[in-house]
Structure 1
């Protein structure tokens, strides 16, 4: 049987066969940050994941509510540790929001690392960025540990059909990544980067969350890496400000490449006067020697690939076609 291993969004499809992804794995859905306002998306996500062949378990506190959080801090921290102790095949966050930052100082990082060593694939994005990067910061000596930047249960698998349902590329890349078949992603980038060919540790996630870790023990110190970034509801001037903070902190210059995903759901201002997201990116490019690529299909958008945070990857560009690959695992 031929195994397809490239999620190539330039073709609009993952290129897999469904039969390859019907591997039974235990998926635990948990809520470490923002409250799940309604149960319907969570139930729909569980139903769809079961239809894909997964055995689904919903954490007991996934629907807990305390102010804007999925339970108070103690409840969410206990849920995180409970999932780690159970070490399911896949630990999929229901949603992001805000709340992980409150937990960082209390997380048993050795327990999280042990679950990864036992085979748990922690998956999510947005606020989960702090957990993914914190694990890298606290397990420097543990080679091979990685998590997956990818979809969220409610936001992606729980999206109503009237809102577009589950994106095919997102679903296919998730299933390939989870059963170990995914080895690369491909996307279309801007002209001017033909010939880029670099290797390094893949890290990053949500830009604002990553910046909130600066100066804390939860920020990984990665040099020679490939940094990917995305954000939502942030005007380009705020994106520029955050990127310049990383540049002025020496982080951008220390990387082999920066890869930008989607910066979505922001509104133009009458004060912009021609200033755009492209303007913001160009301003940052002028201040760093590190190539800054765009076009990565990842972020708060329906179509997103899965990315192994903490893995060694190769980024290569031919013309405007960019490919990011890693060892099979």
Structure 2
């Protein structure tokens, strides 16, 4: 049976262009008709320097959306930077409606998804965001995300072994370790991807990530796509896969192969395992 959903979009990081929101809304109407209510919170279009409104505005919008019982899911508008700056105090204010929701996003939103997972709030997943409409062929990514949120369509979910899984941008993962956002990785596969990072930076991030005692409890690491890699000067003389294999081997973390995730239109959905109070 076809599902129904009420989804609210907020922007805990960077601002969403109103034109992108209009295109996503039109695409949603074409594909789902009356089965989907899609509401873009006005905060998505605020601007405060780098961010979609200041920290207080972004924190308030997220808290309002998460606690609104009229919605089934919170869909994050776009990445960039900013979701890790939300007010720590808001997480204690997330009530029953927030704990019943699905949360979807990726890239910088890994900070917020990780924190929600650690706090046991809702069902979190890595996956496409409204801003992906701006990529060539981005309509497919947007529809993939909406089919998951509306129908729990499994066709857009990243194929795997069936083990619990987390998926993160590698740079974001490296930066959230040791913060209140760090989830429990024990027994879960860890999927990583990145964009616009030189080989030496990828190497440095993996040095940090694989040194974590928490990460070393994971069931293994899988490598997503590392795209738009700037030239390394001097040449690093190792591929990304060789770098990942090296640090996995050094940390005795099983290397489990590739994963179908990345900063691109083919980015698949990775539901996180239940942790904390949601377990």
Q: TM-score, normalization: structure 2? A: 0.86
- Could you tell me which residue of structure 2 aligns to residue 153 of structure 1? 130
Give the count of matched residue pairs. 270
Deviations 1:250-306 (A, max 9, x none): 234211111221211211224115332133123213313222234311121110111
- Could you tell me which residue of structure 1 aligns to residue 42 of structure 2? 60
Structure 2: unaligned runs, 5 residues or longer: none
- Could you tell me which residue of structure 2 aligns to residue 43 of structure 1? 22
Please give the alpha-carbon distance, in whole angstroms, between the structure 2 residues aligned to 1:109 and 1:233.
Answer: 35
Counterparts of 1:15-30 in structure 2, within 5 Å, are 23-30=3-10
Please give the alpha-carbon distance, in whole angstroms, between the structure 2 residues aligned to 1:241 and 1:114.
Answer: 40
Distance change >3 Å, CA 299–CA 165, structure 1 → 2: closer
1:31 aligns with 2:4: no
Q: Contact (CA 8 Å) 1:252, 1:258: kept in 2 or not? A: no
Structure 1: unaligned runs, 5 residues or longer: 1-19, 188-196, 313-329
Please give the alpha-carbon distance, in whole angstroms, between the structure 1 residues aligned to 2:218 and 2:158.
Answer: 20
Aligned-pair CA distance for 1:104: 4.8
- Could you tell me which residue of structure 1 aligns to residue 104 of structure 2? 123
Range 234-243 or range 64-73, more displaced: 234-243
Range 231-240 or range 266-275, more displaced: 266-275
Aligned-pair CA distance for 1:198: 7.5
Aligned-pair CA distance for 1:234: 1.2
1:309 aligns with 2:278: no
Q: TM-score, normalization: structure 1? A: 0.74
Matching residue within 152, 156, 179 for 2:151:
179
Please give the alpha-carbon distance, in whole angstroms, between the structure 2 residues aligned to 1:85 and 1:177.
Answer: 18
Is the strand fraction higher in 1 or 2?
A: 1
Aligned-pair CA distance for 1:220: 1.6
Please give the alpha-carbon distance, in whole angstroms, between the structure 2 residues aligned to 1:204 and 1:72.
Answer: 27
Please give the alpha-carbon distance, in whole angstroms, between the structure 2 residues aligned to 1:121 and 1:273.
Answer: 40
Aligned-pair CA distance for 1:181: 3.9
1:98 aligns with 2:71: no
Q: Contact (CA 8 Å) 1:23, 1:179: kept in 2 or not? A: yes
Q: Contact (CA 8 Å) 1:90, 1:178: kept in 2 or not? A: no
**What is the root-mean-square deviation in Å for CA atoms of aligned residues?**
2.5
Q: Contact (CA 8 Å) 2:194, 2:227: kept in 1 or not? A: yes
- Could you tell me which residue of structure 1 aligns to residue 165 of structure 2? 202
Higher Cα Rg, which structure: 1
Distance change >3 Å, CA 256–CA 198, structure 1 → 2: farther
Q: Contact (CA 8 Å) 2:59, 2:90: kept in 1 or not? A: yes
Q: Contact (CA 8 Å) 2:28, 2:143: kept in 1 or not? A: no
Deviations 1:101-160 (A, max 9, x none): 21152322451x633543x21111111111111112223xx7xx42121111122xx236
Aligned-pair CA distance for 1:164: 2.7
- Could you tell me which residue of structure 1 aligns to residue 119 of structure 2? 138
Distance change >3 Å, CA 306–CA 108, structure 1 → 2: same
Q: Contact (CA 8 Å) 2:55, 2:86: kept in 1 or not? A: yes
